[in-house]
């Protein structure tokens, strides 16, 4: 479960002064459901998800992840999440196995639990072929699978994905989206940011349209259709972003 | 396993798989530096002890032009018998030949020199050289020594002929006598070299790993991955500082060991032996006082690396730091600069001066306590600075 209340982030910039990247955002993500943050580049999606992952601290407002406060219980929050974004790269000089093993250990897993779990993950994701290959020698798809295994190794109840298909080819993107859907079906709380309308349309149980750091509309796709009178998500997004509702 | 140990193990493994680390931590100190030192020593040795290729013609020995000397066969023969120079016939343009380094010197023996000496008349030998040119200076030294010995021999013969005692010209001798122990003598030599070498190597060994583990991680995008782990930021930084410390100490230790072995090998090859012996206790003492300095260096380089946006920027900050560290190390190595309490709080200088004292075996406990204490305090502050920087998102996400 994720709950955000008036979540705000202001960055200070010497030249431009204070920049309000996120402005009083409220939303709620339920277990077993996929919540999509839909917005253009610079809308505040990454800032929002980085705050939920406790990489950034909120300027004001609050959020809880699995009941833990992101500002005061950051370690417990991080223990409860799997965070995947285009900015979370792999250690090139470690093998795929070592990479996943390292994060399992950082999550406090004993080898007796960790190694069978890695074996199962590698089997499920079809990673045994490149298990002992260094990450800098992996293809983009293999890297993404390794990243997925890294986020899942401690079996977190909450998954946070920041534009996880950005820059991926069609087949790899399909694998990633399938994995996100699977997380939702397994009862995990999933929050997922994207600017690709078709992905949000296909995957999300609920969508928040974020623009200029604010969530302008949210609800299920059916609810958004009802609110805007539009059928296609792209038209809904444009109408909301241009302030017509 | 504690999170610090997990981070340490992973970072060390990661680092040792990088050829640049192997290069800076192992290959350069173990192979390149000793080879360079031995190579330079060999060249210096060869230059200083230039030996002729052909003993008969003296080809290959330094060329010295003999001006005059036709009526002084004894002096000329003695000079030839010295077998140090390739004596070339006189030529009018000897000054040009010396300036163009075709010959190293010219020695002018005046007409009837031997006769003048025998007749106890005043005469003079003139040596023409290239002032400041090392080989020319060396030849001059050898020629002066040769003629000084001949002059002494003449004096001795004259005194004997006049039945006068040698004390007439040498009323007394000067006998400098060393009262310092061999340990103290070698301590003076080592005190100038060892702390300097250790400090520079600690810093050299720390720079690459610290940049790779901080600014390098930012560039490669792995820092954000690491920040999503549930490990406390302090533990992440401590794990990284410990790896940099390991690399720093390993580089210093490997450099000292490999160079000692190289010098020992070189010494056994006939090169003039350095008056150096090092007691294990003194070495242990030096290593112990170096420890807080190595922590200070490792934490500072990590802090600088964290602050930088990229590896390039980190290197731009760290290269001047290397120069800044050299200055106090060099000052401490200067003769006459000794430990004072006023200097005990200046980082690097204090450790260098303390090492000088430790190596000569004359180190009061008070000095050790003050230097160890102040450097430990600086090291703790540097660790705290690195941790504080690692917690600042404005630093971690600087673009």
| Min Cα separation A190/chain B (Å) | 16
Q: Nearest chain A Cα to B227, which residue?
A: A55
Contact across the interface for A98 and B13, Cβ inside 8 Å: yes
Q: What average pLDDT does this structure show over B192-202? A: 85
- Determine, for residues B6 and A102 on separate chains, whether the beta-carbon distance falls below 8 Å: yes
Measure the CA–CA gap between B345 and B259, rounded to whole angstroms.
Answer: 30
Q: What is the pLDDT of residues A205-218, one digit of tens each?
A: 999 999 999 999 99
SS3 A43: coil
Place of tokens 């200088």: B349
Give B24 or B90, the one with higher predicted confidence: B90
Tell me the backbone φ, ψ of residue A74, rounded to 5 degrees.
-65, -40
Q: What is the pLDDT of residue B14?
A: 93
Contact status of A40 with chain B (Cβ, < 8 Å): no
Distance from CA of A20 to the nearest CA of B (A): 15
Q: Identify all chain B residues contacting A93, using CB atoms and an 8 Å cutoff.
A: 14, 17-18
What is the tens place of the pLDDT at every residue in B277-287? 667 777 788 88
Q: Residue A88 corresponds to which tokens in the numbers above?
A: 């979370």
What mean pLDDT do residues B346-353 have? 90
| pLDDT at B277 (0 to 100) | 62
Least-confidence region, from A45-49, A86-90, A108-112:
A86-90
- pLDDT of B222 reads 93
Neighboring chain A residues of B236 at a CB cutoff of 8 Å: none
Residue A91: the pLDDT is 96
Of A79, A87, A108, the CB nearest to B221: A87
Q: What is the pLDDT of residue B135?
A: 87
What are the two backbone dihedrals, phi and then psi, of residue A81, each rounded to the nearest 5 degrees? -120, 160
| Average pLDDT of the segment spanning B225-250 | 95
Averaged pLDDT, B174-183: 85
Neighbours of A24 (CB within 10 A): 15
- The reply to whether A83 touches chain B by the CB within 8 Å rule is yes
Asked whether the beta carbons of residue B229 and residue A83 sit closer than 8 angstroms, the reply is: no
What residue of B is the nearest CA neighbor of A104? B229
CB A174 within 8 A of CB A185: no
How sure is the predictor about B268, in pLDDT bands with cuts at 50, 70 and 90?
A: low
Record: contact A78-B228, CB cut-off 8 A: yes
Chain B contact present for A9, CB below 8 A: no
- Tens-place pLDDT, residues A49-97: 999 999 999 999 999 999 999 999 999 999 999 999 877 899 999 999 9
C-alpha–C-alpha distance, residues B392 and B398, integer Å: 10
Q: Which chain B residues touch A if contact means CB-CB below 8 Å?
A: 1, 3, 6-7, 10, 13-14, 17-18, 220-222, 224-225, 227-232, 393-394, 397
Beta strands in chain B (DSSP E): 63-68, 86-88, 105-109, 126-128
pLDDT tens readout for residues B54-80: 676 777 788 999 998 888 888 889 988
Does B94 have pLDDT greater than 60?
Answer: yes
Q: Residue B103: which residues within 8 A CB-CB, separation 6 or more?
A: B63, B64, B65, B88, B94, B97
Report which of B249, B297, B226 is spatially closest to residue A102, judged by C-alpha positions: B226
User: Is A209 in contact with A243 (CB distance < 8 Å)?
Assistant: no
When the pLDDT of each residue in chain B is averaged and rounded to a whole number, the result is 87
Phi, psi of A68 (to 5 degrees): -95, 135
A79 touches B at CB < 8 Å: yes
Q: Is A81 on the interface with B (CB under 8 A)?
A: yes
ipTM score? 0.91
Which residues, 6 or more positions from B297, have their beta carbon under 8 angstroms from its beta carbon?
B202, B203, B206, B248, B325
Per-residue pLDDT tens over the stretch A157-179: 999 999 988 888 888 888 889 98
Phi, psi at B66, each rounded to 5°: -100, 115
CA–CA separation, A157 and A76 (whole Å): 12
Residues forming beta bridges with residue B273, ordered by sequence position: none
| A88: contact with B, CB 8 A cutoff | yes
Task: Give dist(CA B255, CA B26) in Å, integer.
Answer: 9
Edge-to-edge strands, sheet with A60-65: A17-29, A2-13, A60-65, A68-69
Hey, are the CB atoms on A89 and B220 less than 8 Å from each other?
A: yes
Residues B3, A106: C-beta atoms closer than 8 Å: yes
Between the alpha carbon of residue A158 and those of residues A32, B117, B217, the distances in Å are 10, 106, 26
Residue B393: pLDDT band by 50, 70, 90 thresholds? confident
Closest-CA residue of B relative to A93 is B14
Residues in A touching B224 (Cβ below 8 Å): 55, 85, 87-89
């Amino acid at each position: 479960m994720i709950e955000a209340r008036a979540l705000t982030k202001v960055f200070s910039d010497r030249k431009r002064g204070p920049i309000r990247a996120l402005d009083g955002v409220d939303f709620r993500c339920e277990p077993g459901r996929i919540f999509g943050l839909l917005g253009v580049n610079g809308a505040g999606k990454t800032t929002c998800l980085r705050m939920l992952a406790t990489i950034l601290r909120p300027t004001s407002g609050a959020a809880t992840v699995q009941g833990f406060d992101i500002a005061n219980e950051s370690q417990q929050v991080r223990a409860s999440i799997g965070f995947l974004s285009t900015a979370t790269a792999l250690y090139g000089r470690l093998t795929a196995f070592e990479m996943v093993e390292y994060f399992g250990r950082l999550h406090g897993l004993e080898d007796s639990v960790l190694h069978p779990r890695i074996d199962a993950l590698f089997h499920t994701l079809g990673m045994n072929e490149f298990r002992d290959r260094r990450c800098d020698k992996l293809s983009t798809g293999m890297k993404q699978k390794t990243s997925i295994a890294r986020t899942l190794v401690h079996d977190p109840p909450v998954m946070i994905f920041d534009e996880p298909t950005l820059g991926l080819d069609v087949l790899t993107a399909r694998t990633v989206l399938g994995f996100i859907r699977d997380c939702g079906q397994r009862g995990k709380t999933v929050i997922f940011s994207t600017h690709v309308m078709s992905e949000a349309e296909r995957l999300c149980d609920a969508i928040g349209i974020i623009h200029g750091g604010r969530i302008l509309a949210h609800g299920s796709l059916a609810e958004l259709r009802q609110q805007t009178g539009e059928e296609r998500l792209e038209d809904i997004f444009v109408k909301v972003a241009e302030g017509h509702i | 396993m504690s999170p610090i140990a997990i981070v340490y193990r992973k970072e060390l493994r990661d680092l040792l798989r990088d050829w640049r680390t192997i290069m800076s931590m192992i290959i350069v100190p173990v192979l390149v530096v000793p080879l360079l030192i031995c190579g330079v020593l060999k060249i210096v040795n060869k230059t200083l002890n230039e030996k002729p290729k052909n003993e008969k013609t003296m080809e290959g020995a330094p060329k010295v032009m003999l001006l005059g000397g036709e009526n002084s066969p004894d002096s000329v023969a003695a000079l030839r018998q010295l077998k140090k120079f390739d004596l070339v016939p006189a030529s009018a343009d000897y000054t040009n030949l010396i300036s163009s380094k075709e010959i190293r010197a010219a020695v002018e023996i005046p007409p009837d020199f031997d006769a003048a000496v025998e007749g106890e008349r005043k005469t003079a030998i003139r040596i023409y050289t290239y002032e400041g040119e090392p080989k020319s200076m060396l030849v001059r030294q050898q020629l002066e020594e040769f003629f000084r010995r001949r002059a002494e021999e003449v004096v001795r013969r004259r005194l004997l002929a006049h039945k006068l005692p040698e004390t007439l010209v040498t009323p007394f001798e000067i006998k400098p006598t060393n009262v310092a122990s061999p340990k103290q003598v070698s301590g003076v030599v080592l005190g100038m070299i060892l702390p300097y070498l250790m400090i520079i190597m600690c810093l050299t060994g720390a720079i690459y790993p610290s940049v790779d583990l901080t600014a390098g991680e930012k560039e490669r995008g792995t820092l954000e991955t690491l920040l999503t782990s549930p490990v406390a930021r302090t533990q992440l930084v401590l794990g990284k500082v410990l790896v940099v410390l390991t690399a720093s100490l390993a580089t210093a230790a490997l450099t000292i060991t490999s160079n000692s072995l190289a010098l020992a090998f070189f010494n056994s090859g006939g090169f003039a032996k350095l008056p150096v012996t090092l007691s294990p206790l003194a070495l242990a003492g030096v290593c112990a006082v170096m420890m807080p300095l190595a922590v200070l260096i490792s934490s500072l380089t990590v802090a600088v690396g964290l602050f930088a946006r990229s590896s390039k920027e980190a290197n731009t900050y760290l290269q001047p730091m290397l120069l800044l560290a050299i200055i106090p190390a060099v000052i401490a190595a200067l003769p006459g600069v000794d430990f004072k309490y006023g200097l005990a709080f200046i980082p690097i200088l204090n450790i260098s001066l303390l090492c000088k004292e430790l190596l000569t075996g004359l180190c009061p406990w008070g000095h050790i306590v003050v230097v160890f204490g102040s450097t430990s305090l600086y090291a703790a502050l540097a660790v705290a600075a690195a941790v504080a920087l690692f917690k600042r998102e404005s630093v971690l996400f600087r673009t």
